[in-house]
Amino acid sequence: MDHFLYRDGVLHAEDVPVAEIAAAVGTPFYCYSTATLTRHYRLFDEALAGLDHLVCYAMKANSNQAVLTLLGGLGAGMDVVSGGEYARARAAGVPGERIVFSGVGKTRAEMRTALEGGIRQFNVESEPEMEALNEVALSLGTVAPITVRVNPDVDAKTHAKIATGKSENKFGIPIARAREVYAHAALLPGLRVVGIDVHIGSQLTDLEPFRLAYRKVAELTTALRADGHDITRLDLGGGLGIPYERSNTAPPLPVEYGAMVREELGDLGVEVEIEPGRLIAGNAGILVSQVIYVKSGEGRDFLILDAAMNDLIRPAMYEAHHDIVPLIEPAAGVEYAPYDIVGPVCESGDTFAKARQMPPLKSGDLVAFRSAGAYGAVMSSEYNTRPMIPEVLVDKDKFAVIRARPTFDEMINRDTIPVWL
């Protein structure tokens, strides 16, 4: 459930008519709902009730400082994957003991920053990384808490570009080698093993792959404990999917996911961490855009919007579906017709949807892409020198711009011209 609903035929973000925000900030823009972000974080927190747990929001999904401040304030930890994300989390007031550092290629500089600033744990993904972290920790006279990310060789049954738990993927160490790698870690005085990490992919719409992976992690926990390692914490990754198409069957709910976690891991006496990103932020955001032209082509009609692939790259990159709805609710019985919905960028890949059934729309009308709160703004670029679009946060009947649209001068002045030119 989200808080973008039609009221009296007009799309609202919580209690604010979305068109009112469009009039104030101009299109295109992202709009997020405080109530939805809050609700989704709490759903996970409550789903794990009874287990010692921490929900570490995967901030790669949406790392606006206002979003981080909101979630951090609710008690969320953060899953970071770069020095930049670590800096953002800290700037939003999240203490180091609630930050986990994931990622397959952490640099020594990033390790140093996190060790100096405070960190809950590093999720280490290879032996070379383990050795580097050991050296950095020793050079700072400290000990780095670690888990090792294991690759359970499980098919997450999701888009190939966001599946991470098969042996051909670059992530983690093969689970079959785990005991050997943990034995290696135990010999390194700059490291302290605290647990195991696993993440098998994103936008999973079935619990079974999670269950298979967690079962393997449970077996490994027992084996590693028998080897003498102190396994007190399991990081179970993120990945629970969201319903992008209202017409489709909905993926499992956090409460069902939580019940499965309890079934598979509840008896191990461990602290559980999860790293949801998409499910917290995805349906908490929309992308609002204006129709520039309606163009009749040969055998098809185009809706040309002022948003483009640089603003929301998911359709171009993953063939992702986003529901696109007009801000004015279509009258009952109105006739829908197929449109190719495109942006103004000079590539055919700048297509949001093909032959999408839409109600009648004309130049100047406003539309909203649903489920755009995760992996939307964070993956945007200034391709075609199109400014990064504003982000707006709504809370009941008020709204605020939480990232402003840069001016052309600001964009141009980021470049410098060498003296010899």
277 binds ligand LLP (CB under 6 A): yes
Using the contact rule CB under 6 A, the part of the chain among 89-97, 195-203, 251-259, 333-341 near ligand LLP is 195-203
- Laid out side by side, the sheet with 10-13 consists of 4-7, 10-13, 16-17
Alpha helices (H) in 165-230, listed in sequence order: 178-186, 208-226
**Given the complex with ligand LLP, which of 302 and 318 has the nearer CB atom?**
318
237 binds ligand LLP (CB under 6 A): yes
Structure tokens at 61: 């999904």
162 binds ligand LLP (CB under 6 A): yes
**Identified binder of ligand LLP from the candidate list 2, 85, 275, 311, rule CB under 6 A:** 275
Give the nearest distance from C-beta 173 to ligand LLP in angstroms.
14
285 binds ligand LLP (CB under 6 A): no
**Identified binder of ligand LLP from the candidate list 18, 43, 61, 67, rule CB under 6 A:** 61
The DSSP element (H or E) to which 19 belongs, if any, is helix 18-25
Structure tokens at 121: 């744990």
Marked catalytic residue, from 1, 187, 346, 417: 346
**Given the complex with ligand LLP, which of 190 and 241 has the nearer CB atom?**
241
x-or-dash string of contact with ligand LLP, 94-133, rule CB under 6 A: --------x-------------------------------
Using the contact rule CB under 6 A, the part of the chain among 110-118, 235-243, 301-309, 407-415 near ligand LLP is 235-243
**Identified binder of ligand LLP from the candidate list 120, 314, 322, 370, rule CB under 6 A:** 314
Q: Residue 257, CB half-sphere, CA atoms under 13 Å: how many?
A: 27
The DSSP element (H or E) to which 148 belongs, if any, is strand 144-151
- Dist. CA 332–CA 313, nearest whole Å: 32
x-or-dash string of contact with ligand LLP, 9-48, rule CB under 6 A: ----------------------------------------
Instruction: Please check whether residue 343 is in contact with residue 314, taking contact to mean a CB–CB distance below 8 angstroms.
Output: no
Given its phi and psi angles, is residue 315 left (phi above 0), alpha (psi -120 to 50 degrees) or beta? alpha
Structure tokens at 420: 């010899």
**Given the complex with ligand LLP, which of 130 and 240 has the nearer CB atom?**
240
In 248-390, the DSSP E strands lie at: 271-274, 285-296, 301-305, 324-326, 337-342, 351-358, 366-369
The DSSP element (H or E) to which 43 belongs, if any, is helix 34-47
**Identified binder of ligand LLP from the candidate list 318, 344, 401, 405, rule CB under 6 A:** 318
**Identified binder of ligand LLP from the candidate list 209, 239, 258, 390, rule CB under 6 A:** 239
Using the contact rule CB under 6 A, the part of the chain among 28-36, 236-244, 292-300, 347-355 near ligand LLP is 236-244
Using the contact rule CB under 6 A, the part of the chain among 222-230, 231-239, 333-341, 344-352 near ligand LLP is 231-239
**CB atoms near residue 304 (< 10 Å):** 18
199 binds ligand LLP (CB under 6 A): yes
Cα dist from 213 to 88, 159, 186, whole Å: 31, 18, 24
**CB atoms near residue 96 (< 10 Å):** 16
Instruction: Please check whether residue 23 is in contact with residue 384, taking contact to mean a CB–CB distance below 8 angstroms.
Output: no
Give the nearest distance from C-beta 211 to ligand LLP in angstroms.
17
216: Cβ contacts below 8 Å, ≥ 6 apart = 150, 152, 154, 175
- Dist. CA 190–CA 77, nearest whole Å: 24
Give the nearest distance from C-beta 105 to ligand LLP in angstroms.
12
**Given the complex with ligand LLP, which of 3 and 149 has the nearer CB atom?**
149
Q: Under DSSP, is residue 319 helix (H, G, I), strand (E, B) or coil?
A: coil
How many residues touch ligand LLP (CB under 6 A)? 19
203 binds ligand LLP (CB under 6 A): yes
**346 tagged catalytic:** yes
83 binds ligand LLP (CB under 6 A): no
264: Cβ contacts below 8 Å, ≥ 6 apart = 211, 214, 215, 218
289 binds ligand LLP (CB under 6 A): no
Using the contact rule CB under 6 A, the part of the chain among 108-116, 124-132, 226-234, 277-285 near ligand LLP is 277-285
58 binds ligand LLP (CB under 6 A): yes
**Given the complex with ligand LLP, which of 159 and 184 has the nearer CB atom?**
159
Kindly list the catalytic residues: 346
Contact residues toward ligand LLP (CB under 6 A) are: 58, 61, 79, 102, 162, 199, 202-203, 237-239, 275-279, 314, 318, 375
